[in-house]
Amino acid sequence: MKVTASLLMSGMRWAMKTGLWQPSREEWLLAARCVQQEEKDRINKFVFAKDAKYAMAGRLLIRKAVSDQLGIQWKDIQLGRTEKGKPYLTNTVDNADHALFSFNVSHSGDYAVLAAERKHVVGVDVMKVDYPNRGDVPEFFRMMRRQFTDHEWSTIKTPHSEWEQLKLFYRHWCLKESYVKALGVGIGFELQRIDFHLKTPQVRTGEVSQDTQVYIDRTHQPDWLFQESALDDTHCAAVAIQGLTQAVSDPPPFRVLEFSELTGVAQPLLPEDVSYWESFRNKKERPQLTKR
């Protein structure tokens, strides 16, 4: 199917609180009908419900974004994955602006998120700030030592509070993941090659920081813009945008969508499969972790 010309909106930032989403039978069966068969099968393979909800929310976010931005009817959207697992639109595009449309999804903690841009490659990451499972922050940092540069560790360890250090740790992690995901190169990229310099010490909920700079192999990369957000007190998000050299006026904040908003324009692709609900409701929500 070819995409016809339509007016593209500005950058899109959406989130769904999957941690609070307890799908009813009707919601889960509707969601399963509104994704491609291979997506539905993949989601069903997850052992835990939280992972299945992450994956389902991510697919619904993508399909809604493509439908809203490009004007493709939901049932006609065709998605694929690169060798590194990055989702992309396989529909034939006959408009130059549409061909540049880029999107990316992430999930952690209570959220699944999406970022989309009309003319720039984009990557997004979200992380829940939490104490390590064993509760030993210095040991956790020691184990993660090789993931960050000396400059980054200096920034992370600036606060006296371990909690504030963890917030900076996950903020840096989000930035690195958003950059790598925008490149689409997967986990094989050597993270110590990436060095982030933060200008804003703390990003508050509702604000979007755009002054962080990135250095690759010690060389500043001026053609990358990073938009950082705090979704709430325990979740941070970063959006990497390639090709923007300066901050955007009125950067879009993340907007939390309910299931009804995600599926408002959805068109079922598949017949109802009652067994899909039975499979989902028999999954445990998450693995049981015991702190030592």
Mind giving me the DSSP string for 35-79? S-HHHHHHHHT-SSHHHHHHHHHHHHHHHHHHHHHH---GGG--E
Residue with tokens 């299945």: 52
Distance of alpha carbon 283 from the chain centroid: 24
pLDDT of residue 7: 34
Return d(Cα 156, Cα 62) in angstroms, integer: 33
Angle between helices 49-70 and 37-44 (to 10 degrees): 160
CA atoms within 13 A on the CB side of 205: 5
Contacts of 204 (CB under 8 A, 6+ apart): 230
Return d(Cα 113, Cα 107) in angstroms, integer: 6
Phi, psi of 143 (to 5 degrees): -65, -30
Return d(Cα 265, Cα 57) in angstroms, integer: 15
Contacts of 125 (CB under 8 A, 6+ apart): 106, 108, 173, 174, 175, 177, 178, 181, 237, 238
The CA distances from residue 65 to 8, 88, 107, 140, 187, in Å, are: 11, 12, 16, 37, 26
The closest alpha carbon to 64, from 261, 269, 252, 251, belongs to 261
Let me know: does 227 contact 102? Beta carbons within 8 Å: no
Residue 273 per-residue DSSP state: -
pLDDT of residue 209: 97
**pLDDT tens by residue, the chain, 292 residues:** 333 333 344 589 999 999 999 999 999 999 999 999 999 999 999 999 999 999 999 999 999 999 999 999 999 999 998 887 888 999 877 676 677 899 999 999 999 999 999 999 999 999 999 999 888 999 999 999 999 999 999 999 999 999 999 999 999 999 999 999 999 876 667 889 999 999 999 999 989 999 999 999 999 999 999 999 999 999 999 999 999 989 999 999 999 999 999 999 999 999 999 999 999 999 999 998 655 4
The closest alpha carbon to 119, from 236, 225, 266, belongs to 225
Residue 129 per-residue DSSP state: -
Q: How many CB atoms lie within 10 A of CB 252?
A: 18
Return d(Cα 285, Cα 110) in angstroms, integer: 12
Q: Which two tokens stand for residue 5?
A: 């010309």
pTM: 0.93
